[in-house]
Amino acid sequence: MGALAFGIAPAASGGHYWYCSGSTPWKYANYYINYYNGAGGDYYNIYQEESKTDSNAWSPYTDIYLNQVSAAGSTDHLNTYAGSYGATGWLGLASIESNSGCTILKGTARLNKSYLDNGSYSRTNKKHVACQEVGHLFGLHHTSGTTCMNDQILNAPYPNSHDRDAVNAIY
């Protein structure tokens, strides 16, 4: 129940990028991305930890810099939310809601409290999903190993060195 899902189906590929076209991954224009955290309660903290404040969060661990802003945006923005979205089949969802070619203008990550708050998921599990959805928006596909980008596990709430190298290769 509640498999992790992309908002947009990735192109069939064995690579670790979320491909837009051919070998071009989806990505923001550059490493400096406006970040709006619209989640409430502890989900706000979970996104903050995974995005910016954990030592191995995306923003300090890779070349990405998330510039926190106070309102959602659609021009060069990564917006994060948590809500009770119902029996959607996904714990978390990464969606590209506005783009110019393969450049993301508005990316959105959502965590589904309908599953995540049903008593079956630990805070670590929630952090894993948050980390993964944000990672998708940087252009990463699922991978294996001890990393939040592994969609077969839920207990590694951080990117690994492979993810860091993959992100840094495109930003």
Binding interface with Zn ion (CB under 5 A): 4, 132, 151
Between CA 131 and CA 142, with CA 58 as vertex, the angle to 5 degrees is 50
Give min distance, CB of 151 to Zn ion, in A.
5
Nearer of residues 73 and 162 to Zn ion, judged by Cβ: 162
Q: How far is CA 89 from CA 3, 27, 70, 92, 116, in A?
A: 6, 25, 30, 9, 12
Nearer of residues 49 and 151 to Zn ion, judged by Cβ: 151
Give min distance, CB of 71 to Zn ion, in A.
26
Nearer of residues 108 and 132 to Zn ion, judged by Cβ: 132
Amino acid at 55: S
Amino acid at 77: H
Distance (Å, whole) CA 52 – CA 10: 26
**Residue with the shortest CB distance to Zn ion:** 4
Give min distance, CB of 91 to Zn ion, in A.
9
Nearer of residues 50 and 70 to Zn ion, judged by Cβ: 50
Residue 102 is given by DSSP the state T
Give min distance, CB of 140 to Zn ion, in A.
9
Question: 26 with 18: CB under 8 angstroms?
Answer: yes
